[in-house]
């Protein structure tokens, strides 16, 4: 059973992601973004309304919006306040999380063994 405090944290994360998807989507319709991301429009709607999200759909949306997936987890104020070094660190972390660089791919291919 999930603790109330954990549920509040998860709800806050879902809300931040949903708000960011809406913000980055801008004037693109839900239907257009859903098609570009290759997900259902109802799935996109659920994400934007902080109902649920699966990481593979998060990655598809970020790619369709041409943004770093990490940006979906940060509030607009947090993004603006990041220092240059922080942005570099986030970029590296994002690449590792989503296995977009060769080192991460090799590491993951070996099952996380060095």
Q: pLDDT tens per residue, the chain (114 residues)?
A: 778 888 888 899 999 999 999 999 999 999 999 999 999 999 999 999 999 899 999 999 999 999 989 889 888 777 777 666 677 777 777 776 665 556 555 655 655 555
Q: What count of residues does the chain have?
A: 114
b/e 77-105 (16+ beta carbons within 10 angstroms → b): eeeeeeeeeeeeebeeebbeebeeeeeee
pLDDT (0 to 100) of residue 68: 87
Q: Looking at the structure, do residues 14 and 70 belong to the same domain, yes or no?
A: yes
pLDDT of residue 26: 93
State CA 7 to chain mean position distance. 19
* Structural domain that includes position 90: 82-114
Q: Are residues 26 and 50 in the same domain?
A: yes
pLDDT of res. 27: 94
Structure tokens at 37: 């991301």
Strands (E), 1-114: none
Query: In total, how many domains does the chain have?
Result: 2
The predicted pLDDT at position 89 comes to 76
The label of the residue with tokens 């801008």 reads: 26
Q: Rounded to whole angstroms, how far apart are CA atoms 77 and 73? A: 12
The reply to whether 89 and 45 lie within a common domain is no
Closest CA to 70 of 99, 93, 43: 93
pLDDT, residue 83, reads 66
For residue 28, give both structure tokens: 């693109």
Residue with tokens 């607009």: 76
Residue 47 has what pLDDT? 97
Predicted pLDDT at 79: 73
Residue of 2, 16, 100, 73 lying closest to 50 (CA atoms)? 16
Are residues 54 and 106 part of one domain?
A: no
């Amino acid at each position: 059973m999930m603790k109330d405090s954990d549920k509040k944290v998860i709800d806050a994360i879902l809300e931040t992601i949903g708000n960011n998807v809406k913000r980055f989507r801008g004037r693109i319709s839900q239907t257009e973004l859903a098609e570009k991301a290759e997900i259902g429009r109802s799935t996109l709607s659920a994400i934007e309304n902080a109902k649920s999200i699966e990481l593979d759909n998060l990655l598809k949306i970020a790619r369709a919006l041409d943004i770093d997936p990490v940006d979906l987890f940060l509030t607009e104020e947090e993004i603006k306040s990041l220092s240059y070094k922080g942005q570099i660190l986030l970029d590296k972390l994002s690449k590792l999380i989503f296995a977009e660089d060769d080192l991460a791919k090799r590491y993951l291919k070996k099952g996380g063994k060095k």
